[in-house]
Amino acid sequence: LGRAASMQRVMETVAAVADADVTVLVVGESGTGKELIANALHERSRRRDGPWVKINCAALPKDLIESELFGHVRGAFTGATVDKAGLLEEAHGGSLLLDEITEMPVDLQAKLLRVLEDRSVRRLGEGKSTSVDFRLISSTNRSPEAAVREGRLRQDLYFRINTLTIEVPPLRERREDIPILVRAFLDRYRAKHARPVHEVDAEAYRR
């Protein structure tokens, strides 16, 4: 079908599996629209009315990501002055996106694997577990196979998160999608800041 059809095949896959509730790994270079694919998976799923929780594993310091994911109880560590639910709990009944999952510390990956196997989470400092039910969507800009070889990604976790892998082709192979992505980002900016953004007619500009 050629380059132009590659993204069409991606969206056909999204439409086919969005409601299947399987774990999905979205792979692609930075800026290819992996989050848009993840959004589409959630919005077209049976969990669309539930929470849609996102965390960028590369953006949080290693000493904070465990507390953000699992939550904590008061006194669990210095500065834990109140009980706090983690993002795994907050995603209950909905979907969870772990963006750049290969940047998650390996020791934390083992704890995440247990959550996926047991469907329960234990806050830091707490003695009991809480049942959780969410659909996991992960993404990475690395080759997951290479990340496994390099010791960045546990092989057993990789098997668990890639029931289905969706590879997003780079923008240089689908330039016709750039206006669509720009429009999506403009719409997000408008919604977030409640400010008008004037679009330029690209064809008129080139003329």
pLDDT digits (tens, 9 = 90+) for 60-89: 887 788 888 998 888 888 888 888 898 999
Question: In terms of C-beta density within 10 A (0-12 exposed, 13-18 middle, 19 or more buried), how is residue 13 classed?
Answer: middle
The yes-or-no verdict on residue 205 having pLDDT over 60 is no
Residue 115 amino acid letter: V
- Whole-prediction pTM: 0.80
> In the numeric block, which tokens belong to residue 54?
């996102």
Q: Which residue has the higher pLDDT, 112 or 176?
A: 112
Nearest-10 Cα torsion for 14, 15, 21, 23 = -10
* Residue 75 confidence (pLDDT): 83
* Residue 153 confidence (pLDDT): 97
Residue with tokens 């996106």: 97
Backbone angles phi, psi at 194, to 5 degrees: 50, 40
Residue 120 amino acid letter: S
Task: State the Cα–Cα distance between residues 110 and 158, nearest whole angstrom.
Answer: 11
> In the numeric block, which tokens belong to residue 171?
């923008």
Task: State the Cα–Cα distance between residues 89 and 144, nearest whole angstrom.
Answer: 26
Task: State the Cα–Cα distance between residues 155 and 144, nearest whole angstrom.
Answer: 9
Mean pLDDT of 147-174: 91
Return the H-helix or E-strand segment holding 6: helix 6-17
For 192, other C-beta atoms within 10 Å of its C-beta total: 8
Least confident of 11-15, 108-112, 189-193, 194-198: 194-198
* Residue 196 confidence (pLDDT): 65
Q: Which residue has the higher pLDDT, 184 or 42?
A: 42
Task: State the Cα–Cα distance between residues 16 and 10, nearest whole angstrom.
Answer: 10
